[in-house]
Amino acid sequence: MKSIVHKILSIALVFVVLFSTMSFTINMHYCGGSLMDTAIFSKVETCGMKMENPLSGGCSITKMNCCDDKSLVVDGQDELKLSVDKISFEQQVFIASFVYTYINLFEGLDKNVSSYEEYKPPLVIRQIYKIDETYLI
């Protein structure tokens, strides 16, 4: 049960970090004051009523455009970037020694070495519980 909760929490934190660092743009197309189309990560489709201002012979006629495009930009957090080129020599030594000791931490022994294998237990000359007269009842 604990490992399942741990995995779910880890995946949730991955998505939190992913969405907090991701930036995106929401494009909206308004026609006549009402929202006609929205799009994320792409351009919006227009309603086809967008007016163009043609310049003909020095006289230009300007008409009010009924369509309007707006963009909402959501900036992600960019403070999580780690610059590796600014690590000092002492930090490099620490990282190298930490990685080396962490990797060697999981190396097992080839044989289970016991320093007491060569010794034999002492011979029992007298039974000590009879000498001290202690009995378990």
How would you classify the pairing of strands 55-56 and 67-74?
Answer: unpaired
Tens-binned pLDDT, residue by residue, of the chain (137 aa)? 888 999 999 999 999 988 888 888 889 988 888 888 888 878 888 877 755 555 545 555 555 678 888 888 888 776 655 666 778 899 999 999 999 998 888 776 667 777 777 888 778 777 777 777 766 76
How many domains does the chain divide into? 1
Cβ atoms of 27 and 39 within 8 Å: the answer is yes
Residue whose entry in the numeric block shows the structure tokens 């995995």? 7
State phi, psi for 104 to the nearest 5 degrees.
Answer: -75, -10
Residues spanned by the domain of 36: 2-47+63-105
Residue 125 in domain:
no
Residue 54 in domain:
no
